[in-house]
Amino acid sequence: MEITPGKIKLDRELSELDKFAISFCKAINRLTPYVIVSGYVSILLGRTRGSEDIDMLIPEMLKNEWEDIHKALEKAGYECINAGVHESFSYLNDNIAVRFALKGKPIPNMEILLATNKIQRVALETSIAAIVGKDKIIISNLELQIAYKENVLKSPKDMEDARHLRQILGKAINMKKLKEYEVMLK
Amino acid sequence: MNKNQEQRMAFIDFWANYVRTHDDKEWSRLQNTVINQTPGMTAEQFLKMKGHQAKPVK
């Protein structure tokens, strides 16, 4: 694994979760900016735990823009498992995640939210590329993930995810950036 | 931090060090034996487990 500012390169054996993440990100990347946040970031980088879902943030948008994305994802072989095309935008606007999975296979699924608050927008704006073999997934920068998990989420699982990321970053961790995020989150 | 949490954190450190010091293919092969075990369930069962309402009728 190579970690440089703005990019992580790894040549891992793909898990079922990775395959789903890569194919979904390819499909949505044509339609909108996005960033993957939370647990899957740690899992992609080696954390030994499973997950049924992956968290994704996308920018705020108009109803018709979202409906075009919803329809395009359906055309690409995915289905929204908790809302129809006409309900999904109101879910997003109410800060309820919409979940997309491969048709007929609800696990794993992509849990999508609009980036409506400052920290979510920062995650989108400061995202980094994870180059996985020949593919690319846009993920949250790791210092932001660590700060969010340690200062906001704080569950044992999140503290362990954060610790894993700290260890993986090692000396490459940007302490100045980490402190800035910690202040932002307080 | 209780003894159990200490042990869990010690394993996190051990494993992260393994990831950092071994080839990506090697650690990911081991990791996949854990993370590829996904439960089979319907969308309705999954949403119920997550505390979401079922998909509205279109």
The dihedrals phi and psi of A138, each to the nearest 5 degrees, come to: -90, 120
Q: Smallest CA–CA separation between B47 and chain A, in Å?
A: 7
Structure confidence at residue B2 as a pLDDT band (50, 70, 90): confident
Contacts of B55 in chain A (CB under 8 A): 80-84
- Mean pLDDT along residues A121-133: 98
User: Is residue A101 less than 8 Å (CB to CB) from chain B?
Assistant: yes
Cβ-contact A109, A52 below 8 angstroms: yes
**Residue range A94-108: mean pLDDT, rounded:** 95
Mean pLDDT, range A116-145, rounded to an integer: 97
Cβ contact B13–A163 (<8 Å)? yes
Does the pLDDT of residue B18 top 60, yes or no?
Answer: yes
End-to-end Cα spacing for chain A: 32
* Contact with chain B for residue A80, Cβ under 8 A: yes
pLDDT of B57 over the 50 cut = no
Mean pLDDT across B11-29: 97
| Spacing of C-alpha B28 from chain mean position | 13
Q: How confident is the model at residue B31 (pLDDT cuts 50, 70, 90)?
A: very high
B22 touches chain A (CB under 8 A): no
Nearest CA in chain A to B9: A160
pLDDT band at B53 (very low <50, low <70, confident <90, very high): low
Q: pLDDT-derived band of residue B51, with 50, 70 and 90 as boundaries? A: confident
Distance from CA of B58 to the nearest CA of A (A): 6
The pTM for the full model equals: 0.93
Neighbour tally for B58: CB within 10 Å? 8
Token pair for residue A44?
């992609």
Minimal CA separation from A99 to chain B, in Å = 10
Other residues' Cβ atoms within 10 Å of the Cβ of residue A169: 19
- In the sheet that holds A35-37, the strands lie side by side as A2-4, A7-10, A128-132, A135-139, A35-37, A53-58, A105-114, A98-102, A78-80
pLDDT band at A13 (very low <50, low <70, confident <90, very high): very high
Q: Has residue A185 got a pLDDT over 70?
A: yes
Percentage of chain B modeled with pLDDT above 90: 48
- Residue B36 at interface with chain A, using a CB cutoff of 8 Å: yes
